[in-house]
Amino acid sequence: MSKTYHLTAPLSEADVVQLKAGDIVYLTGVVYTARDAAHKKLVDLLDAGQPLPFDMKGAVIYFVGPTPPKPGDPIGSAGPTTSYRMDSYSPKLINEQGLKGMIGKGKRNQDVIDACVKSKAIYFGATGGAGALLARQIKSAEVIAYPELGPEAIRKLEVVDFPLTVINDTFGADLYKIGRAQYEVF
């Protein structure tokens, strides 16, 4: 049975180990945006032994490249982008830097799923293509690194009751496999 949780980011280990694939989470607090270009820069910094532009411990990263905000709005439409493009970077951030949550859409590879088990992190799905609805739950946005990347810059977001579904939990379960197996007709 899927459960519903209200959690606050940054996330603790206790927050994430209770979650199971298929659970609904309404997330409030601070979330950082990053797509592939920003992930590459973050990992390059780590390889060069440099500090990161934000504290990764307990952090939640949202894979999103929003539309430009209209005057007066904190952000434009802001739904998730396809996550596999971050697969080669996420395990390092989870295992070495304490990243606790990722928000995106679509399948992750086994390395990411393993890292979520080993170092206790969650991959959350948000509804792709629901950019106008999701933007309503984002109360503020501030570019904190790489403004030259435009929509791909790293932004610090404050979100309230951001609606998520747990896809990969800390036990190695994958909702995309479990859910489909339940409804596939041969």
Select from 10, 65, 79, 101 the one that contacts ligand SF4 (CB under 6 A): 79
Contact flag: residue 106 with ligand SF4 (CB under 6 A): no
| E-state strands within the chain | 4-9, 24-33, 60-62, 101-104, 122-125, 138-145, 154-168
Q: In angstroms, give the least distance from the CB of 154 to ligand SF4.
A: 20
Residue 74 site contact among other proteins, ligand SF4, none (CB < 5 to 8 Å, cut-off depends on kind):
none
Contact flag: residue 77 with other proteins (CB under 8 A): yes
How far is residue 160's CA from residue 28's CA, in Å, rounded to a whole number? 4
User: Which residue among the candidates 39, 41, 100, 155 is catalytic per the annotation?
Assistant: 39
Instruction: Let me know how long the chain is.
Output: 186
Contact flag: residue 65 with ligand SF4 (CB under 6 A): no
For the question of residue 6 being annotated catalytic, the response is no
According to DSSP, the β-strands at 4-9 and 101-104 are unpaired
Residues that bind ligand SF4 (CB under 6 A): 79, 128-129
List the catalytic residues.
Answer: 39
